[in-house]
Amino acid sequence: MSPDLIGFSILLIGVALIIAKLIRIRFTIFSKYFLPSSIIAGLLMLVFGPEVLGNILTRFSWGETYSYGLFTENLISVWSTFPGLLINIIFASLFLGKKIPSVKQIWMTAGPQVSFGQTVAWGQYVFGLLIAMAVLVPFFNANPMSGALIEIAFEGGHGTAAGLASTFEELGFSEGADLALGLATVGVVSGVILGVVLINWGVRTQKTNYLKDPAKIDESQLRGIVDIEDRKASGVLTTSPQSIEPLALHLGMIGVAVLLGKGLLELFILLENNTWGADGGVIIFGYIPLFPLAMIGGVILQKFLDKYDKYKLIDRDMINRLQGFALDFLIVTAIATLSLQVIGENIMVFLILALTGILWNVLAFIYLAPKMIPKNWFERGIGDFGQSMGMTAAGLMLIRIVDSKQDTKALEAFGYKQLLFEPFVGGGVMTALSVPLIFQFGPFAVFVFALVVMLVWMFVGLKYFGKKDAKDVA
C-alpha cells in the first residue's frame, strides 16, 4: 500500500464530500431533512463502487475490469481501514478542551437527561437481546450477538459500528460489522426525519415551549451554510504558528490521548492474560477495541492539563474541528465499504432489528421523556432522541431547531449529560464490552443485567426527577 495511494484515497474522499455538499444544496429534499453531506458522499461512493456499479458491470463479458466500479481494489482496501483508525481520534477528543465539572454539578443540571438517556440506551440492549432470543436466533438462525447491534448502531453510530469491526471478526460474527453500519445509516436517516416529524407534532399539540412555527426554520440552517455576517472564528490560536501550528499542536494532544488509551488497554490485556484469562479462562479485554480506552486517555490528559497547563493551550473549538473532520471521513469510508451482500443475506434480521430500535426510541420519547424530565421536556428530550438514533450531531441539530436561542438550557444539559453517558454507553465501555460479554456468558445473562440497569435508571427518572417540580431543576 503505497503512500501515493493513501494520499490519493484521501483526496477522493474530499472530492466526494464537495460533490455531496453541492447535491445537498441543489436538491432540497436532502437539506429539508438535514441529511449530512458525509452520508450522501458515502452513499455515492457505495453506488459507484463494487457493491452496486461493480456488480452490475461484472454481468457483462467485458465487465471484469470494472468489478470495483469506478474505483480499484486497492482504494477500497485503504478506505476500509480508515474507520477503525479515525474512531480513536473521535473518542480521544470527546473531553479534551472541556472543563470537567464535578459529578454533583452534572447531576443537578443534566440528571433528568442522564436518567432518560441511560434508560433508552439500556433499553436498546433489553429489546435487542429479547428479540434476538425470541425471534432472530430460533427462526432466522441469527448469531446471538446480534442482540447488541441496536445499541451499537443506534446509540453508538457509524463510528462505533466501524470501530468494533475487528471485535466482530475475532468473535466469529464478521457480518455484524456490516449489519451494524447498515443499521447506523437507517438510524441516522430515520432519526432526522422522525425528529422533524416529532417537532411538527410537538408544535401542533403545544408541547414545545419556544418553537411555534417549524416552517420558519432559518433558510441558511436548511442549506447548511453560515451567513457571511454570522461567521466567526472556529478556533483560537493558542500558540504562535512560528513556534508550532496550533492545528498540529491539537492533533498532537489527541495523539497523546490515544497513546494513553493504548497503554491502558495493553495493561488490562496483560493483567487479564495473567489472571482470570490465563489457561483458557474468560477473555474480555482481549476483544475490546482501542477507542473506549482512548476516551479515558482523553479524560486523564484533560485532568492533567486542568492542573498543570497554565497557558491553557487546548482550544475546544479547534478540537471540535478535528473531531468533525475525522467523523465526516469515517462516515464516508464506512458507508462506501459497506457490504450490501451481507445485509441482503440477513435482510429479515436487519429489518426486525431496525424496526425494534426505532419503535423503542420513539415510544420512549413520547411516553417516558415527559415523565422523567420535569422542565422543558420536549426541548431537552428531543436531543436525546436524536442521539439515540445514531448521531450526537443529530441531537444537537434537533435541539437547535426547537430552542434556537438556548432559552431552555437544553444544549448545556445535553453537553453535561455526555460526561455521565458516553463513558459507559453510546460507544463507551459497555458498548465495547457487550459483544464479548454475550460471547462469553450468553445473551440471557447480558439481557438480565441490561434489564436491571434499565429499570434502575427508569426508577431514578420517574420517581426521583419525575416527582420534582420544574422550579427545582436547572
Residue 38: which residues within 8 A CB-CB, separation 6 or more?
Answer: 17, 20, 327, 328, 329, 331, 332
Structural domain boundaries, residue 201: 3-223+324-472
- How do residues 317-364 score in pLDDT, each as one tens digit? 999 899 889 888 988 888 888 888 888 889 999 999 999 999 999 999
Mean pLDDT rounded to a whole number for the chain: 86
Average pLDDT over residues 300-305: 94
Give this prediction's pTM: 0.81
Confidence of residue 217 (pLDDT cuts 50, 70, 90): low
Q: Which amino acid is at 428?
A: G
More confident residue, 459 or 405: 459
Residue-wise pLDDT for 452-465, tens only, equals 999 999 999 999 88
In-domain check, residue 383: yes
Grid cell in block for residue 127: 429489546
The Cβ-side half-sphere exposure at 292, using a 13 Å CA radius, reads 25
Instruction: Answer whether residue 207 is part of any domain.
Output: yes
Q: How many domains does the chain have?
A: 1
Q: How far is the CA of 342 from the CAs of 49, 176, 194, 264, in angstroms?
A: 16, 9, 27, 34
Q: Is residue 314 part of a domain?
A: no
Q: How confident is the model at residue 286 (pLDDT cuts 50, 70, 90)?
A: confident
Within a domain: 240:
no
In a domain, 269, yes or no: no
Specify burial of residue 331 (Cβ count, 10 A radius: 0-12, 13-18, 19+). Answer: buried
Tell me the three cell numbers of residue 383: 436531543
Residue 148 clears pLDDT 90, i.e. is over it? yes
Contact 132, 350 (CB under 8 A): no
Q: What is the DSSP letter of 58?
A: T
User: Any long-range contacts for 67-76 (C-beta under 8 Å, 24+ apart)?
Assistant: 71/45, 74/1, 74/5, 75/5, 75/8, 75/9, 75/12, 76/49, 76/50, 76/336, 76/337
What does each C-alpha distance from 413 to 203, 315, 390, 408 come to in angstroms?
A: 22, 21, 19, 9
Q: Is residue 147 part of a domain?
A: yes
Q: Is 305 a member of any domain?
A: no
| Over residues 370-397, mean pLDDT | 84
Contact between residue 111 and residue 473 where contact means Cβ atoms under 8 Å apart: yes
pLDDT of res. 29: 78
- Write down the pLDDT at residue 469: 67
Question: 158 vs 449, which has greater pLDDT?
Answer: 449
pLDDT of 172 over the 80 cut? yes
Does residue 283 form part of some domain? no
Maximum average pLDDT range among 190-199, 283-292, 371-380? 371-380
Asked if pLDDT for residue 117 goes beyond 80, the answer is yes
Residues contacting 354, CB < 8 A, separation 6+: 183, 186, 187, 190
pLDDT in tens, 23-46: 988 887 777 766 778 888 998 999
Cα 379 to chain centroid distance, Å, stands at 21
* Cα–Cα dist 53/48, whole Å: 5
For the chain, what percent of residues have pLDDT higher than 90? Answer: 43
